[in-house]
């Protein structure tokens, strides 16, 4: 598994970097759409095992907020799309009420997947469309994936005390600390390479917040998998598990980065100016 993990990362990392740097906003949006569809498929397959119709409806619902942003190039229609997702879920579970042992629980799980993945994924596109979005998107990806790797390898080498044994038996306190240290190191490297116009005093607290948020995302997906009784969300990425396993931290950290950048730019702090809140052409 260790060898497969490295080989997968060596293949996927250059492809992702090339898509961010040279693919343009349109290609990146298409990649996010495909990634979202894959995550939604894995989520609904795990939570509603055997429910093909539910999975299909969930994928459509979860993609609607992302697709609205891609289609209209701004966030104008995201809120109506979210409302349609909620309304459609009500209609769906009213029509299928007798099928469910616990309709309220199934309804909540349905809405959770479509909104969790849909809302978080669209923020990846929002970050990419910022005026300096290429640099910030690369910053986010490198910081989060470095933290994931640090948590995995340091946890395996030094981990003794479990972080949340009732949620995930593999996560350790040493791994969590190691992940944050790798977050900081990667963030400072990316600042030096791509974001030196930003005050460095902003980078470390930003990275720590993103790292902690990413670990919450990892734990949240562990809760979903434990409740569903599955070890991995899928097997599409050898050595890593499913697509949702790989991007759970990235998904939850993306909205955090976007809104911090917008707020900091609005108040013109740490070398960020108001141009950051405008979409790139």
Distance CA 52, CA 57 (A): 9
Global pTM value: 0.89
User: Rounded CA gap, 233 and 41, in Å?
Assistant: 9
59: tokens are 């994928």
User: Tell me, what's the pLDDT at 280?
Assistant: 40
- Cβ 148 vs Cβ 181: under 8 Å: no
- Residue 182 token pair: 């790798």
**Predicted local confidence at residue 52, as pLDDT:** 79
Residues of the chain with pLDDT under 70: 1-14, 50-51, 159, 232-241, 274-281
Identify the DSSP state of 168: E
Residue 232: predicted pLDDT: 67
**pLDDT confidence of residue 143:** 95
Alpha helices in 96-132 (DSSP H): 103-128
- Can you give the pLDDT at residue 11? 58
Residue 230 CB neighbour total at 10 angstroms = 17
Q: Is 75 helix (H, G, I), strand (E, B) or coil?
A: coil
Indicate if the alpha-carbon torsion angle 180, 4, 243, 42 is positive or negative.
negative
Q: How far, CA to CA in Å, does 34 sit from each of 39, 67, 179?
A: 9, 11, 27
As a whole number of angstroms, the distance between CA 167 and CA 220 comes to 9
pLDDT for 115 equals 85
Q: Look-up: residue for tokens 């030096």?
A: 192
């Amino acid at each position: 598994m260790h060898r497969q993990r490295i080989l997968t990362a060596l293949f996927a990392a250059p492809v992702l970097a090339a898509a961010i740097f040279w693919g343009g906003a349109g290609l990146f949006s298409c990649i996010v759409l495909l990634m979202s569809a894959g995550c939604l498929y894995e989520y609904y397959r795990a939570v509603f095992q055997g429910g093909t119709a539910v999975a299909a409806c969930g994928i459509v619902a979860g993609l609607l907020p992302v697709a609205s942003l891609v289609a209209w190039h701004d966030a104008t229609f995201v809120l109506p799309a979210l409302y349609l997702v909620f309304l459609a879920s009500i209609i769906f579970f009213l029509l299928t009420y007798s099928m469910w042992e616990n309709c309220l629980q199934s309804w909540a799980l349905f809405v959770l997947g479509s909104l969790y993945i849909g809302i978080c994924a669209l923020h990846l596109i929002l970050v990419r469309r910022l005026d300096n979005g290429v640099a910030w998107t690369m910053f986010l990806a490198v910081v989060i994936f470095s933290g994931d790797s640090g948590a995995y390898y340091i946890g395996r080498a030094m981990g003794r005390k479990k972080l949340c044994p009732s949620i995930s038996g593999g996560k350790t306190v040493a791994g969590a600390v190691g992940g944050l240290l790798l977050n900081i190191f990667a963030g400072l490297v990316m600042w030096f390479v791509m974001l030196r116009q930003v005050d460095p005093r902003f980078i470390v607290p930003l990275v720590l917040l993103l790292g902690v948020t990413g670990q919450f995302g990892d734990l949240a997906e562990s809760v979903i998998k434990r409740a569903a009784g599955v070890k991995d969300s899928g097997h599409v990425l050898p050595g890593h598990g499913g697509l949702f396993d790989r991007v759970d931290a990235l998904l939850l950290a993306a909205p955090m980065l976007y809104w911090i950048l917008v707020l900091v730019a609005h108040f013109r702090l740490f070398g960020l100016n108001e141009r950051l809140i405008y979409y790139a052409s």
